[in-house]
Structure 1
Amino acid sequence: MELSVDQFIDGLLTKEAAERPSDSAKPEDIKLELPPWYDEKLFNKGRSFYWSNCFSLATSMFIGLIAVFSIPSILRVLVGSQRSSSCFTAYRRYLSTMLHTTAWFQHELRPPTESWKSLEAVRTRHARASRASCLRGGGPVSQRDIALTQFGFLGFAVLRPTKFGLRGFSEDDWEAYNHFWRVIGYMIGLEDRYNICRKNIHETRQVLQILLDRVFTPCLTNVPEHFEHMSRVMIDGLWSVNPTVNTEAALYYTKYMANVPGYVYTEEERIAFQIKLKGLLKDQPIDCGIRTEDLIEKPAIEGLPDTPLPLLYYKDYDVLDNVPTYKNLTWFERYKLNSNTLFMQLYSTNLGRIYFNLNYLWSLLLMKYFPYLAFYRFGIKQSFVNIFVEDPKDETKPKPNSEYQKVRILPWYKQILAFFW
């Protein structure tokens, strides 16, 4: 029986979904099968859609990955695995993730292609990570965890396509992209009743919007402990393959995309947010603070800190440079943030799309065969990633979020490379 959107959401956000393992089989017994509703033509059209927009869609996945770190249960498993808590291990783990994802788009989905082998490896590792997490008392990698991770791969691109320069595409194109990720979800162990990619793109958009409002916005507004560390070491690690990325700008843009209250960076958005605050003040004096909680939905998942959120003041939004979240950015971080908007405007043109896609493809070649910045940081041998070899572990302990509220100093060589790359 097909579930309605409301029934699906109600099921995904239950305790059962949070406790049901992503795989009931032992890692060594896992066997992949195509879903009964698999449409090869539609799946391959989804692959083509990706390569036509690879720069933009890869960017949306990067932002989505940061957002996924805000889910307490997922973050707990990542911290416990000890495979991404340092710059080096994060580089290895998330470059491997990028190369796995690329393999799914590059190769036909049939055995024994690299795509098929990659999905087998990912599913097996999830099962092993789930068992290890349970042994540590941290709970399994659940069906809900996999579903919310699935949001990271396509959620922002589907919900806010113009922010990524994705214009002029038909519903058929998005149906194909939706089908692609629906199949991938099935292949890595998601049961149909928890697969956020529904039977059509219309329902998928509804599901994604509800998850954004009820899960990702609240989680990114009040992030769990170690979010700052795990997201920052990931960004720092991947700087070795993409020196254009800036940590503060990336974190700001992620919260902006997730509608976290107070994260604006255009005059239009500043004005709209100030009007919204004015409406919430009603008959109160203009200098009264508005509770952040009044601007978001109550989190639909457990595990967030029980800490008071800051008050928001109308007067702080009189001028963009006075907006509390924005004024904390340095001039360089503002430049990186605003250049992203420019790039996506250019990307919406035919020539811009060609240029940035070629740039991404060149970067992809460097990631796989000549990650020269990683050579300098980690050594030549350690810089190459084999996606079929388990990621390394280390004993690095994640720092608390409070450690990242101190003054930030970006190394000079990173500023130069990020500015001119």
Structure 2
Amino acid sequence: MKYSSRVLHLNLHLTAEPFDSPSRKMLKKVRKKDFSAQDFVDQLLREGAQVTCDETNESFVRSDRLPPFYDERLFRKGQEFFHKHAFSMYSACFYGLVTILSIPTILRILIFTKQSSSAITAYKRYVATIFHMTIWYDEDFKPGSKLWKSISQVRHVHNSASKRGSKAGVHRIFQKDMALTQFGFMGFQLSRSHLVGIHDASEEEWKSFLHVWRVVGYLLGINDRFNLCSGSVQETKEICELLISQAFKPEILKGDKDFLSMARHVCSGLWPVSPILNFKTSLCFLHALVQETNGFKKIPEPTFFKLSWGLKLSYYFQMYVFLYWMKNHYYRLYRNFIQKFTLWFFKVLPLLAFYKFGIAHSYVDIKV
């Protein structure tokens, strides 16, 4: 069953209405009764590929208005949930990042901007992304805050790239591209939680985590009818599963040379942040994620390379950590501490970046 015109009409005007408006309540009832994850994905991949993302919801930047659906309690709980599973969250974001590089429209924009076309440019771009993300999970969400300024800065970068891409004859950044990018920050955490080391999370915790990304997605310009996190936890999980099987998996298994080249640059660029990163083992683990296999019976090695015994051992160790060791409360606390300390120390003294890129290129300042 396709979305009715009435549902689409309500969605289009959702962000302009109070949280308890009659049309919002009606939309919730209609979605609960008639929701279809496949219809949502079809609409996103079809209509979302025709609606641009830049210069939408600009009232956020120009005024002190919060999103109409913003819930401070849920947002703070979502931040707490992230910190409870910080190591797994950052790990899942890395694989989410590599995943979205497989989407041709996203890849073309990145190639055009030349911000991920080498190890050093990928280092600067994605370290900046990590720093922005830590602000989103650490700071208060209110006008004038560091979080507010951070999102405004990211929006400006996206809008600028979109406009330059359009002028150069590439294309603008579309709602589909932004929604798929949103997946990169929350999709594997929800749909492959056991494979990235998030165990025994409650429905309320997932609800709060998705609320954070509904808010962030909205502020970055994603219309609510394309926002992956605008429904219930179960609805969002169904959407993520379909996106993996229909949008990401075919492109990843295809192994496009530009995608592989960009993924290699990302792994090389982020090596100073996480020295255990290896392109081959990372790609094998990504194949395990999109094919939903724990990888112990047979490593899902891409056909274009084979792992050495040393890399196989590294792969198995990573898989074992996520599937089993992260279930232990004290080990999870230990890995979270190491993850946070590593990022703090990296901001102060990025020694491995000094070695790889030189002191002049090692410090990344997002000026927030």
TM over 0.5: yes
Query: Which residue matches 2:162?
Result: 130
3-state DSSP of counterpart to 1:49: helix
1:379 deviates by 1.9
Deviation, structure 1 residue 224: 3.4
Deviation, structure 1 residue 366:
2.1
Q: Which amino acid aligns with 1:352?
A: Y
* CA apart distance, 1:34: 2.4
Q: 1:228 deviation in Å?
A: 1.0
Q: Which residue number corresponds to residue 348 of structure 1?
A: 327
Structure 1 pair 8–28 and aligned structure 2 pair: CA distance change class (3 A): closer
Name which of 42, 54, 57 aligns with 1:23: 54
The runs of at least 4 consecutive aligned structure 1 residues that moved more than 4 Å come to 25-30, 323-327
> In the TM superposition, what is the alpha-carbon distance from 1:218 to its structure 2 partner?
0.9
Q: Identify the match of residue 363 of structure 2 among 364, 367, 384.
A: 384
Change in Cα spacing, 1:243 to 1:171, as seen in structure 2 (3 Å) is same
Contact 2:55 2:221 in 1 (8 A): no
- 1:9 is aligned to 2:44: no
Letter in 2 for 1:382: H
Matches within 5 A, 1:233-272: 233-259=265-291, 265-267=295-297, 270=298
| Structure 2 counterparts to residues 263-342 of structure 1, below 5 A | 265-267=295-297, 270=298, 325=303, 328-342=306-320
Q: Which residue of 2 aligns with 1:78?
A: 110
Amino acid at match of 1:265: G
1:210 aligns with 2:189: no
Whole-angstrom distance in 2 between the partners of 1:200 and 1:25: 24
Comparing 329-338 and 220-229, the one that deviates more: 220-229
Change (3 A) 1:20 1:224: farther
Contact in 2 for aligned 1:28/1:124 (Cα 8 Å): no
CA distance in 1: counterparts of 2:151 and 2:302, whole angstroms: 43
Cα deviation digits, residues 289-309 of structure 1 (max 9, x gap): xxxxxxxxxxxxxxxxxxxxx
Q: Is the 8 A contact 2:48 2:175 kept in 1?
A: yes
Shift of 1:237: 0.6
Larger Rg: 1
Structure 2 gap segments, 5+ residues each:
1-9, 11-26
Q: Distance in 2 between matches of 1:142 and 1:59?
A: 26
Is the Cα contact below 8 Å between 1:246 and 1:336 reproduced in 2?
no
Deviation at 1:264, TM superposition (A): 7.0
Give the aligned residue type for 1:331: W
Percent of matched pairs sharing the same residue: 34
Given that 2:288 and 2:294 are in contact with CA atoms closer than 8 Å, whether structure 1 keeps it comes out as yes
Contact kept, 8 Å, 1:71 with 1:224, in 2: the verdict is no
How many angstroms does 1:85 deviate by?
Answer: 0.6
Q: Write out per-residue CA displacement over residues 35-84 of structure 1, whole angstroms, 9 at most, x where no aligned residue.
A: 21111100110000000100011100101101010000000000000111
2:141 maps to which of 90, 109, 116? 109
Label 1:25 to 1:148 Cα distance change in 2 as closer, same or farther (>3 A): closer
Q: 1:75 to 1:327 in 2, by over 3 A?
A: closer
Is the 2:229–2:236 contact (alpha carbons within 8 Å) kept by the matching residues of 1?
yes
State the Cα distance separating 1:325 from its structure 2 match: 4.5
Distance, in Å, in 1 between the alignment partners of 2:272 and 2:165 is 29
Task: Summarize the Cα distance change of 1:327–1:124 in structure 2 as closer, same or farther, 3 Å threshold.
Answer: closer
1:154 maps onto 2:132 in alignment: no
Which amino acid counterpart does residue 372 of structure 1 have in structure 2?
Answer: L
State how many pairs are aligned. 334
Q: Counterpart amino acid of 2:179?
A: A
Go from structure 1 to structure 2 and tell me whether the alpha carbon gap of 1:132 and 1:347 turns closer, same or farther (over 3 Å shift). same
TM-score, normalised to structure 1, is 0.75
Deviation of 1:25 (Å): 5.7
Structure-2-length-normalised TM-score: 0.85
Change (3 A) 1:369 1:138: same
CA-atom RMSD in angstroms: 2.3
For residues 74 and 101 of structure 1, the distance between their equivalents in structure 2, rounded to whole angstroms, comes to 20
